[in-house]
Structure 1
Amino acid sequence: MTDLFSGFQLGDLSLPNRVVMAPMSRVRAAAGGLATASMATYYAQRATAGLIVSEGVQPSLIGQSNPGTPGLHTDAQVASWRPVTAAVHANGGRIFAQVMHGGRVSHPDTTGHVPVGPSAVAATGAVFTPSGPQPAPVPRELATGEVAEHVAAYAGAARRAIEAGFDGVELHGANGYLISQFLSSNANLRTDRYGGTVTGRIRFAVEAVAATVDAVGAGRTGIRLSPGGRFWGVEERDILELYTALLGELAGLGIAYVHLEATAERELLTALRRLWPGVLIMNPVLPMGPRQTGRAEAEEWLRLGAELISFGRAFIANPDLVERLRTGVPLAPVDEATYYQGGDAGYLTYPAYRYAA
């Protein structure tokens, strides 16, 4: 059986283990979407992961979903990320930036712009704003001629990520954000070439990935997907057909990996594993669900054919998660109240495991 702690070659990157730190929003960026010294410490503390995927990073101002999140669309943002990537590399780690366009999951109070989406259909629920949660607004439907601008935003952010020292990028195609909205059958009501049929609904995702591959190379490009996920009210018809078509197009682009979330039944997820010829990162439990990924879930998915396993919340309270998994020592519990509160408490204050004398 493949071992969670064995090395793996991901493109040009030699990973010392198969543990991936999943992207998690922590909303600790400074004004202007700048990365901070605390963020450098946070990621460096977790550099023993085989690969870190950063929190979602907006590729444009209109693509920002939440206040307090970092960007990769200005020179100042690029400069602010360099100490972060340098700290991770100095500690022996590897880090991809997750490029996340919020689409309709945003608010004018956050960005100064009416959010955009594939159709004028509001997300379900309240979105975060500087003054607190507010109902998700109805987005402005993108005209066909505007779509290319938002495709190009992913590629532009990818270029800036490499300039900032990241080892690659992961496009956020999951969890109800812009790529996921285009894949959706209820957020995407378009009748042009970006909607309607499965071919139309996958077109935006494929174009965004292709543009990113052209910008930084296939070996530096991954994508995260949530088949059947219902985040922010999205729904998907014909899930197997949809993702069969999407994975077929992505396979032709030769990207570094696909990162799947456990948002569908096991049978469907294992079918997608068989369909995808490349590297699979598997997030074995539902994001923000009642359970966290542990060693047992990780080893089960290694048996099912995943090459790498991503861990989310367990990394928040356990910066030394790889060693804790390896030795079997208990995992520290996380204080959920500190997820998004800002500051260093609940961010930099979780220690490595201390063995009793």
Structure 2
Amino acid sequence: MSDILFQPYRLNKALELNNRILMAPLTRCMADDNLVPTDDMVAYYARRADAGLIISEATIIRPDGQGYPNTPGLFTDAQIQGWKKVTAAVQRAGGKIFAQLWHTGRVAHPYFFGGEDVLAPSAEKVEGTVPRRRELTYVTPKPATLNDIQQLVQDYAQAAANAIEAGFDGVEIHGANGYLIDQFLHHDSNKRSDEYGGSPENMSRFALEVTDAIAASIGWEKTALRISPGAYFNMQGDARDRQVFDYLLNELQNRDLAYLHIGIFDDSMEFDYLGGRASQYVRSRYHKTLVGVGGFTADSASQAIDAGEFDLVAIGRPFIANPDYISKVRNQQDLVTYTDDMLATLV
């Protein structure tokens, strides 16, 4: 392993990271019943502050964005105050932290927000039941109206402003993994025939409007985005998706994101319509700061960064098992192996 992982990395004039290892967003479902971060969450994030950048667990922008129990929000004053404790603790420990902004779209469930409509690009239902609430079956969503979409863009921008008020160093827009923004970007979930569907330009419109609105609110240097060109989670792939992401990546290349983050659970997965791995595809079209993720070890990440495949790496489950992941890797100490029973508590 080269020492490239532990070299500082300047995202932009405003932000320099102490190393190239990011803590990936990890949904833990440990907020209180009002979706406010708890003291256990404060301690959990602070223990991992030596990551170059912590990306928070996905955090919902408004009530109807909720699809899992006890996921934190950023739309009430109590939630903002709760996150202030988290960000202050991380920053006291010398760390930096971005909030990942989330709306689950058709993966939301009315159980969590009082029986109102589930919004999505189209009336295309996800099959199956809600994780951690297996008694709940997904419902057919209501296609978002143009007014709904305009309000969603405003609510993303407001959540970003709330994140800055809460002390975050920036935000990562969750545009990946089969959730609302990603649903607009794939033909499996977007059957619209208006200005938000049909063509690559139209299908990319919502993602770009959200990104531009957030950047206008908090600045490009604090605005990042995660995308999933390869459909693999709550989504079926379609060869036409390639044209959508060709267009989207060209548009993003002409903007000044803090970074672009690939959304994939396992970067060894290959997609016929992308010509291989998602990270290879994105890197061939996006030449600014790129974050790789999906099963990397410190050794394999170091090799990939040396080879120019991406610039930063996000590490997920090993950070759950090893709060001291950075120091262990730096000192070449053995890591505790992640197991699913570790999800029961915040350590």
TM range (shorter): over 0.9
Counterpart check, 1:280 vs 2:290: yes
- TM-score, structure 1 length as denominator? 0.90
In the superposition, relative to structure 1, how do residues 301 and 336 fare at CA in structure 2: closer, same or farther (>3 Å)? same
Q: Relative to 1, partners in 2 of residues 1:145 and 1:237: Cα closer, same or farther, differing over 3 Å? A: farther
Aligned CA RMSD, in angstroms, stands at 1.7
Write the letter of the residue equivalent to 1:141.
P
Q: Is the CA contact 1:229–1:264 (under 8 Å) kept in the aligned structure 2?
A: no
Gapped regions of structure 1 (runs ≥ 5) = 286-291, 349-357
Alpha-carbon contact 1:144-1:192 (below 8 Å) kept: no
User: Is 1:47 matched with 2:53?
Assistant: no
Instruction: Kindly indicate whether the alpha-carbon contact (under 8 Å) linking 2:320 and 2:342 is maintained by their aligned counterparts in 1.
Output: no
CA distance in 2, matches of 1:102, 1:25: 13
Q: 1:325 to 1:133 in 2, by over 3 A?
A: farther
State the distance in 2 between where 1:111 and 1:267 align: 37
Residue aligning to 2:181: 179
Whole-angstrom distance in 1 between the partners of 2:254 and 2:299 = 33
Determine helix, strand or coil for the equivalent of 2:42.
helix
Query: Which of residues 296, 301, 306 in structure 2 aligns to 1:298?
Result: 301
Aligned pairs for 1:124-203 (under 5 A) are 124-128=127-131, 132-203=134-205
TM-score, length-normalised on structure 2? 0.92
Correspondence for 1:313: 317
SS of aligned partner of 2:193? coil
Partner of 1:224, secondary structure, is strand
Mapped contact 1:228–1:236 kept (Cα < 8 A): no
Relative to structure 1, is the Cα distance of residues 236 and 161 closer, same or farther in structure 2, using a 3 angstrom cutoff? farther
**Paired-residue identity, %:** 38
Distance 1:198 1:108 in 2: 31
Contact (CA 8 Å) 1:293, 1:314: kept in 2 or not?
Answer: no
Query: Which of the numbers 327, 333, 338 marks the counterpart of 1:323?
Result: 327
* Contact 2:199 2:244 (C-alpha < 8 Å) held by counterparts: no
Equivalent position amino acid for 1:127 in 2: V
Provide the rounded CA distance (Å) in 1 between the counterparts of 2:291 and 2:134: 34
Cα deviation, 1:112-171, whole Å, max 9, x if unaligned, reads 122110001111321146x54422111111112221111121111100000000000000
Matched AA of 1:77: Q
Secondary structure at 1:134 match in 2? strand
Is the contact between residue 200 and residue 245 of structure 2 (CA under 8 Å) also seen in structure 1? no
Distance, in Å, in 1 between the alignment partners of 2:281 and 2:140 is: 35
Native 8 Å contact 1:116 1:139 kept in 2: yes
- Aligned residue for 1:289? none
After superposition, the Cα gap between the structure-2 partners of 1:272 and 1:19, relative to the gap in structure 1 and judged at 3 Å, is same
Please name the residue that 2:339 is paired with.
335
Q: Which stretch has the larger CA shift, 220-229 or 19-28? A: 220-229
Any stretches of 5+ residues in structure 2 without a counterpart? none
Q: How far is the alpha carbon of 1:267 from its aligned partner? A: 5.4
CA distance in 1, matches of 2:160, 2:37: 16
